Structure 1
Amino acid sequence: MKLPLKRLLGIGAIAAIVIVIDQASKFTVRNALAIRETWTPIEALGDYFQIVHWKNTGVAFGLFPGVGWIMPFAGLVFLALIVLFYKPILNGSFSFAIAIGLQLGGAIGNLIDRLNPEIGYVVDFIWIWKYPVFNLADCAVVIGAGILLITLWKSDLAAVKKAQPSESGDAFNKNFNAASAADKTHE
């Protein structure tokens, strides 16, 4: 099997795992708790960690309530960007594929909630101390973004380290050209 096909299957598998776990957790919360009802699984941590059925009509982490209607469109833009950058994604590093799989799975998990007429909002349920209530799809998106940033930073750093100063001493141009070449490998 060629590397791009393996990479595509890996991205799809990661996204599918995120979606299944996310939807199963939200299904459990919807069926076990009324909206705004809380459950404290560990009494000693009750002031810092609770499960609460939260109706999120906003964007990630409950920000901007009432504008969640824009999220299906943002999800479509995200999918379009993945198609646009299809080749760089398939030719990128393994960690790049993991990042995209996590973000794709998280975006689709929350999109399913919004587009499901029986729900119509994103089910958030994890409350940690003073942080906004969130869900596992949000975690996947944030972790994926973090992995992506680290991967891109490390690839840029590696490109700069590869560049050697020219005999004329123009190290800046060498480093700039190396970084530009690294960007082109992601195309």
Structure 2
Amino acid sequence: MVVYYVVAAVLLLLDQLTKYIVVQNIPLYDVKEFIPGILSWMYIRNTGAAWSILEGQMWFFYIITTIVVVAIVYIMQKYAKGNWLFSLGLALILAGALGNFVDRLRLGYVVDMVRLEFINFPIFNMADISLSIGVALVIIYVLLDEKNKKLS
């Protein structure tokens, strides 16, 4: 089980490192093309969630993130032992939740920087990627678990 907390810690550090590098090297709202027409870096400050929903409602994010982190740790300890897919998914969710939580506590906003050029999609960060992949892994685990229960 410890390995999954290490995974979460490494992803949290990578998230914070990428945010630090962007803040130090890209002026606010400036765009640096990475893969033309596909991917660029753009430093923005997000005081809300995706598409800036609930903008400025930091108290809400503090409460929700605290509940999510406590729940994830509890579920990891109680139910995820012995299942790598479920544990990995939860570790990624934990890392993502903590990555954006650190920003909100430290800065009062979340640093976002990954911009997809080919679609109208919110600018995001490594924490958001961890959260998204983690949720997908947990969904896959649940679907596989349900299928296995039906076959038993």
**Contact 2:58 2:108 (8 Å CA) reproduced:** no
| 2:81 counterpart SS class | helix
Q: 1:145 and 2:135 equivalent?
A: yes
Aligned residue identity for 2:7: I
Question: Which residue is 1:88 aligned to?
Answer: 79
Q: Which residue of 2 aligns with 1:120?
A: 108
| 8 Å CA contact 1:38, 1:52 repeated in 2 | yes
* One of 99, 123, 132 as aligned partner of 2:122: 132
Greater relative contact order (Cα < 8 A, sep 6+): 2
For residue 76 of structure 1, report the CA deviation from its aligned partner: 0.6
Q: Contact between 2:38 and 2:116, CA under 8 Å: does it hold in 1?
A: yes
Q: 1:51 aligns with which of 41, 47, 51?
A: 41
- CA offset at residue 72 of structure 1? 1.6
TM-score (normalizing by structure 1): 0.75
Question: Which secondary structure does the structure 2 equivalent of 1:90 belong to?
Answer: coil
Q: Distance in 1 between matches of 2:74 and 2:14?
A: 28
Instruction: Report the structure number with the largest CA radius of gyration.
Output: 1
The answer to whether residue 7 in structure 2 is matched with residue 14 in structure 1 is yes
Cα distance in 2 for partners of 1:61, 1:32 equals: 24
User: Any stretches of 5+ residues in structure 2 without a counterpart?
Assistant: none
Q: Which runs of 5+ in 1 are unaligned?
A: 1-6, 163-187
Structure 2 counterpart of 1:77: 67
Aligned to 2:34: 41
Q: Confirm or deny that 1:62 pairs with 2:55.
A: no
Q: TM-score, normalised by structure 2?
A: 0.91
Percent of aligned pairs sharing the same letter: 26
